[in-house]
Homo-oligomer: A and B are copies of this chain.
């Protein structure tokens, strides 16, 4: 198998945000297009970034129109704003939503059309403006990956847009930024990274280079999430940052799986964050995949339970059970019915039919049918 491995230049470490100005200069920045969101503004990080840029004599235009689960029309409006302002480098500071908004704007600004024209893999033809992404969570991995997730409002679905040119030029990961995050956001982000790592490991196009990053991420998240939540120590938060970067190196190059396909479809319909649905769906999809590739799932099981049981299947299942107990140790929803009212349950069928079409489903050990997706949803209702 021929495999590709591409990542941005990564500047990692406590205080690395301070290098944003020098990095922007290296990308040729004179006047940058800044993308962020209200939470980051409020926490003071945006102003900090603006100060750093100003110190290097870099001008900026600020585009504030980011919401969680970014929508098609927001990206298209952002691109108009971009084109009016004659900027040269796109910089986003925020979580997956701010970074994906920036990526969507970059696509439309340089390739034209509507964002839904680019759904799926490798549909973006012309080069994008230089991009620098500064993540404020340890989860989405958008700062490393060739993925961009935008909601198509008409169909009510989160579209996966996947293309190598979406890998930014530079990714800045500063664990100190995580200190201002809420407990629930730290958990959701870490669980998202864990799902990235596990799905990338199981992917049909996983390679030795993505596999080592997947396993590293799984190991770090299981070892450090509880202490990160309990103590908020920078040491633990830094370990989660390393895990999130590793997980994104893996999934950006190996793709994801059926769980993310279903999460996108559910999230598009109900406007839910990824991180909320993973503790509900992930182990259920792992059980589904265990029938198809118990050997690889046993590698994950061995890493989680730190030993090998009688058979691959036993090892894999013991790992899944330990993972379920791990999720249950946090204050998170574990059944779909905790998130979706019974009166909306009938939407599951169209949601599952949509999930089949998601690009992430293609790299699952075996793509799931809509009936299989529905069965998974019913199991975890």
Binding site for B on A (CB under 8 A): 1-7, 9-16, 19, 164, 207-209, 212-213, 216, 242, 245-246
Contacts and interface: CB of A to CB of B under 8 A. Distances in A.
Contacts of A13: 1-3, 207
22 contacts: A1-B13, A2-B12, A2-B14, A2-B15, A2-B16, A2-B19, A3-B11, A3-B12, A4-B12, A5-B7, A5-B9, A6-B9, A6-B10, A9-B164, A10-B209, A12-B209, A13-B207, A208-B242, A209-B245, A209-B246, A212-B216, A212-B246
A212 B247 CA distance: 13
A1 B216 CA distance: 20
Given A2-B19, A19-B2, A12 B207 contact: yes
Contacts of A10: 4-6, 209
Task: Identify the 4 closest CB pairs spanning chains A and B, nearest first.
Answer: A2-B13, A6-B9, A5-B10, A208-B242
A318 to B, nearest CB: 23
Contacts of A213: 212
A5 B1 contact: no
A212 B207 CA distance: 16
A11 B19 contact: no
A22 to B, nearest CB: 11
Given A2-B12, A209-B242, 20 more contacts: A1-B14, A2-B11, A2-B14, A2-B19, A3-B11, A3-B12, A4-B9, A4-B10, A4-B12, A5-B7, A5-B9, A5-B10, A5-B12, A6-B9, A6-B10, A7-B7, A12-B207, A208-B242, A212-B212, A212-B216
Contacts of A3: 11-13
Contacts of A4: 9-12
A127 to B, nearest CB: 10
A3 B216 CA distance: 18
A120 B10 CA distance: 22
A235 B305 CA distance: 30
Find the residue from A10, A19, A242, A246 having the highest chain B CB count within 10 A: A10
A6 to B, nearest CB: 4
A29 to B, nearest CB: 15
Contacts of A6: 9-10
A1 B174 CA distance: 11
Nearest to A6: B9
